[in-house]
Amino acid sequence: MSFGLYAIGFAILIGGLIYGANLVHMPTHWIVVGAIVLAGVGILSGVKATRQKDPTS
């Protein structure tokens, strides 16, 4: 799977969670903090899942 698909999927997930948090009137600064943390988790998991294994010599 490509990193682009992971990035698009996490962007949709983060967008949905931001929308839901906004509907329940969560303070904006906590929404931003959550989005930043989720973006970091998305990047880490995307890189981990899509990286190529190093060939053994």
Each residue's pLDDT tens digit, 7-46: 898 899 999 999 999 999 999 999 999 999 999 998 998 8
Token pair of 46 as six digits: 């995307």
Residue at 16 is within a domain? yes
Query: What confidence category does residue 51 fall into, taking pLDDT thresholds of 50, 70 and 90?
Result: confident
Residue at 56 is within a domain? no
Q: How many domains does the chain have?
A: 1
Asked whether residue 52 carries a pLDDT value surpassing 80, the answer given is: no
Residue at 54 is within a domain? no
Q: What is the rounded distance in angstroms from the CA atom of residue 28 to the CA atom of residue 11?
A: 18
CA 56 → CA 3, 11, 25, 42, 46, distances in Å? 24, 35, 52, 28, 23
The model's pTM is 0.79
Residue at 57 is within a domain? no
Phi, psi of 47 (to 5 degrees): -65, -40
pLDDT at 27: 96
Degrees, nearest 5: CA angle 12-22-32:
70
More confident residue, 1 or 26: 26
